[in-house]
């Protein structure tokens, strides 16, 4: 009875809003992998991060998820013509006192995204757009950009629940690599994800009295694209000169331009 009622509801939604308004997870085509060149590819079961699906990197404290996400973003700027960061600043808080990759601090707390943090990872800034919006607009912006065909979108923090479905649907149609970085995802965010990887730091790597990286354990917490493959332990090395970006901050003018560009895309 419940299955019949669900089918009727889905049919009614599609009749009113179009055939693409709602899609069952089982009806989605198998995701194509994007090879990240990291040990994470072994955990997904398909040889790379799934295109068109939401992948979450989670974990509390300094566990390596943020450093890894920045490395993936920097790599993606060389591969895709259009990469995007959606910074949900209202949920992340300000950047005062927050830990950044390569900086030894009390923890890897969320922070407002600073494009200069990518300098040590050698990105191509020509393909990067940073959008910093209020919480009620971040999901709309991400959805519009996914539909526009952005090759790679990094979500810094969660986005409003009503936009999770449209966001993943847009990413699925365009084959966008969609990655979210959060300490502990909310219920809706966790449910929307197709792949969730949890990180925990095993130990610091110190050479000649200097902190150069960490050993971290990545566990597959959820996998809708293939059978889960347990966990993997690997090293994350901080790039040389990782401290340099601590001296730089993106200007307010650049942020305003990013907001205007996003607003025009949504309209």
**By residue range, what is the domain housing residue 9?**
1-30
Which of these ranges, 90-94, 131-135, 150-154, 220-224, has the smallest mean pLDDT? 90-94
Q: What is the mean pLDDT of residues 252-265?
A: 36
6 and 59 belong to one structural domain? no
For the chain, helix, strand, coil in percent to 5 are 40, 25, 35
175 and 221 belong to one structural domain? yes
Give the Å distances, CA to CA, from 150 to 2, 51, 94: 38, 11, 27
**What is the model's pTM?**
0.74
What's the pLDDT tens digit per position in 20-44? 556 555 555 678 999 998 888 888 9
8 and 86 belong to one structural domain? no
41 and 23 belong to one structural domain? no
231: enclosing H helix or E strand = strand 231-237
Longest alpha-carbon distance in the chain: 67
Q: What is the mean pLDDT of residues 133-162?
A: 79
17 and 68 belong to one structural domain? no
6 and 72 belong to one structural domain? no
Number of domains in the chain: 2
20 and 117 belong to one structural domain? no
Cα–Cα distance, 220 to 231 (Å, whole number): 6
What's the pLDDT tens digit per position in 39-82? 888 889 899 999 999 999 999 888 999 999 999 999 999 999 99
CATH code of 44's domain: 3.40.50.300
23 and 38 belong to one structural domain? no
Cα–Cα distance, 220 to 44 (Å, whole number): 8
26 and 69 belong to one structural domain? no
86 and 119 belong to one structural domain? yes
69 and 120 belong to one structural domain? yes
pLDDT band at 258 (very low <50, low <70, confident <90, very high): very low
21 and 50 belong to one structural domain? no
Using the 8-state DSSP alphabet, how is residue 266 labeled? Answer: H
Q: What is the mean pLDDT of residues 90-98?
A: 39
Q: What is the mean pLDDT of residues 136-164?
A: 81
């Amino acid at each position: 009875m419940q299955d019949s009622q669900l089918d009727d509801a889905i049919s009614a939604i599609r009749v009113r809003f179009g055939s693409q308004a709602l899609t069952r997870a089982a009806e989605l085509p198998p995701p194509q992998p994007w090879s990240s060149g990291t040990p994470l590819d072994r955990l997904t079961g398909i040889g790379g991060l799934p295109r068109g699906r939401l992948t979450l990197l989670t974990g509390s404290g300094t566990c390596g998820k943020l450093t890894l996400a920045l490395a993936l973003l920097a790599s993606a700027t060389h591969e895709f013509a259009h990469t995007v960061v959606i910074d949900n600043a209202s949920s992340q808080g300000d950047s005062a006192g927050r830990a950044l990759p390569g900086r030894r601090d009390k923890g890897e707390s969320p922070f407002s995204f600073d494009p200069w943090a990518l300098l040590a990872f050698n990105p191509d800034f020509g393909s990067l757009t940073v959008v910093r919006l209020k919480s009620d607009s971040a999901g709309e912006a991400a959805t519009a950009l996914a539909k526009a065909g952005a090759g790679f979108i990094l979500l810094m923090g969660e986005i409003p629940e009503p936009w999770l479905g449209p966001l993943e649907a847009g990413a699925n149609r365009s084959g966008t690599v969609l990655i979210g970085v959060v300490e502990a995802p909310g219920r809706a965010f966790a449910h929307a994800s197709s792949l969730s990887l949890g990180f925990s730091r095993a130990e610091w790597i110190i050479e000649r009295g200097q902190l150069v990286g960490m050993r971290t354990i990545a566990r597959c917490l959820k996998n809708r694209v293939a059978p889960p493959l347990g966990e993997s332990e690997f090293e994350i090395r901080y790039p040389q000169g990782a401290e340099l970006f601590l001296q730089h901050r993106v200007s307010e003018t650049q942020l305003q331009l990013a907001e205007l560009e996003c607003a025009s895309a949504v309209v």
